[in-house]
Amino acid sequence: MHEYSIVSALIEQCEQHALANQATHITRVDIKIGVMSGVEPALLHTAFDTFKQDSICHNAQLNMQIQPLVILCNDCQIESILSERTIICPACQSYRTRVLDGEEMLLMQLEMEQDGD
């Protein structure tokens, strides 16, 4: 399950941001997950809850925004927002589409605290 390696990289990124901002605790982690990212949100959440225990994120809440797939059809020039994993244009059924959004996982925001806050 690659969600464990993704969470490991996510927590490492959180620790780097905390260090750069002199924070000692991270209380909230907001991420955006595209439907075509290959990440299973439920497995990612379980992995985060498991691995956060021995990190700066030990009390952090993970918030996930699922990003729908956004495609642009090269034939009819219509931009479509799709919740399923397909690259077929719903307007003209063309396969000649370009993905604009929904393929990646991004760290969007962190809520951090310093000792005494």
Task: Give 77's DSSP letter.
Answer: -
Question: What is the pLDDT at residue 103?
Answer: 93
Q: How far is CA 87 from the centre of its chain?
A: 20
Q: Counting beta carbons within 10 angstroms of the beta carbon of residue 93, is it exposed (0 to 12), middle (13 to 18) or buried (19 or more)?
A: exposed
Binding-site residues for Ni(2+) sit at 2
How would you write the pLDDT of the chain (117 residues) with one tens digit per residue?
578 899 999 999 999 999 999 999 999 999 999 999 989 999 999 999 999 998 999 999 999 999 999 999 999 999 999 988 899 999 999 999 999 999 999 999 999 988 765
DSSP one-letter string for 55-98 = STTTTPEEEEEEEPEEEEETTT--EEEESSS--S-TTT--S-EE
Structure tokens at 47: 């992995």
- What residue spans define the domains of the chain? 3-112
Binding-site residues for Zn(2+) sit at 73, 76, 89, 92
CATH number of 3-112: 3.30.2320.80
| Cα(73)–Cα(57) distance, integer angstroms | 41
Q: What is the pTM of this model?
A: 0.84
Binding-site residues sit at 2, 73, 76, 89, 92
